[in-house]
Amino acid sequence: MHPRILKGRLSAFAAFLPAVIASFSLPGCGYSEEEWKAQLDKYNRLQSQQQSTESRLAETQKALEVEQEKVAELTKQLEAAGVDISKLNENLQATSTQVSQLSSTLEEREKALAEFKARARQLEQIKARFETLRKKLDELTKLGLAVNIRNNRMVISLPGDVLFDSGRETLKKEGKDILTKVATVVRNDPSLLQRYYQVAGHTDNKPLAGGPFRDNWGLSLMRAREVLLFLVSPADVKGGGGALPAAKWSAAGFAETDPVATNDTDDGRRKNRRCDLIVVPSVEEMLDLKAIAQ
């Protein structure tokens, strides 16, 4: 029974009870002592039920508020790290609006509490996976490389100007050196070695003037291909290689379509000329994100 309805009935009964009790003392009222006791017991039971319901409502509301705060804090932490979950909590927002109404029942609040607890567990799993992966890639940050979460994927950014000369796709010695160090970090960690990766080539927005690549699409793709071929080549071949498993790697070119900075300044264009090594999400990670979006 809804707590407000129950409370209303109890109040009415409480107001009526003195008159009932008084009537029992009148001659010829027709009530036996057993009937009087039954009515009193019924009142006591209703009062006890009301107190129990109010107590459970208060406890559930307090627990719900704790879980709501936990979800909000985890969401804030993940978004600060670069994980986009802006569309993933829409269902919870609707639930919060519903239970914020004073007329929400105990059953509705307990259901909302279960939903928030489940969402908090999911967010904690996602956070733990990203943090574990980031720690494994700490060695790369020590090399001066940027390791970030972008589009819900861990991304290792390699500066294009370190890897290549302007308008060229041939790796410079400095570029080979840094790729060799990246490959060593991946190769020395079994969990990193067994993951899938994509090399993504990017350019600034300056049009490519002719040449064999024709446009920025061609240049970005050929640069990604060059990085990939070096990473999967045996270490003892001429020019060296990363000796990483070729079946785990792929390449793609994005031209100037995915900038990380403005193209209106020299510094911004320099940041946009890059090759990203994208750690492809595992099945478990994709299921985490899919589950929380439902």
Give pLDDT tens digits for 170-194.
Answer: 999 999 999 999 999 999 999 999 9
Q: What is the pLDDT of residue 196?
A: 94
What is the spatial distance between Cα 149 and Cα 128, in angstroms, rounded to a whole number?
13
Token readout for 251 is 């390449």
* Residue where the block lists tokens 């928030």: 116
Say how many Å lie between the first and final Cα of the chain, rounded: 31
Token readout for 276 is 């990203």
Token readout for 201 is 């080539």
Angle between helices 90-99 and 33-81 (to 10 degrees): 150
Provide DSSP, 84-115.
Answer: --TTTTHHHHHHHHHHTSTT--HHHHHHHHHH
Q: Which of 141, 144, 164 is nearest to 219 (CA)?
A: 164
Contacts within 8 Å (CB) and 24+ apart, 34-41 = none
**pLDDT in 10s for each residue of the chain, 294 residues:** 444 443 444 454 445 545 545 554 444 455 677 776 777 767 777 776 676 667 777 787 787 788 778 888 877 877 777 776 665 555 555 555 555 554 467 677 778 778 878 888 878 887 888 888 888 888 888 888 999 888 888 999 999 999 999 888 999 999 999 999 999 999 999 999 999 999 999 999 999 877 788 899 999 999 999 999 999 999 887 878 999 999 999 999 999 999 999 999 999 999 999 999 999 987 666 655 554 444
Q: What is the pLDDT of residue 287?
A: 55
- Beta pairing, strands 197-202 & 249-253: parallel
Q: What is the pLDDT of residue 88?
A: 56
Q: What is the pLDDT of residue 157?
A: 94
What is the spatial distance between Cα 64 and Cα 156, in angstroms, rounded to a whole number?
39
Q: List pLDDT tens digits, range 147-159.
A: 988 888 899 999 9
Q: What is the pLDDT of residue 182?
A: 94
Dihedral sign for Cα 65, 71, 72, 77, please. positive
At 279, give phi and psi (nearest 5°). Answer: -80, 110
pTM (predicted TM-score): 0.66
Asked if 278 and 231 count as a contact pair (C-beta separation under 8 A), the reply is no
What is the spatial distance between Cα 235 and Cα 243, in angstroms, rounded to a whole number?
5
- In three-state secondary structure terms, 209 is coil
Token readout for 80 is 């600060």
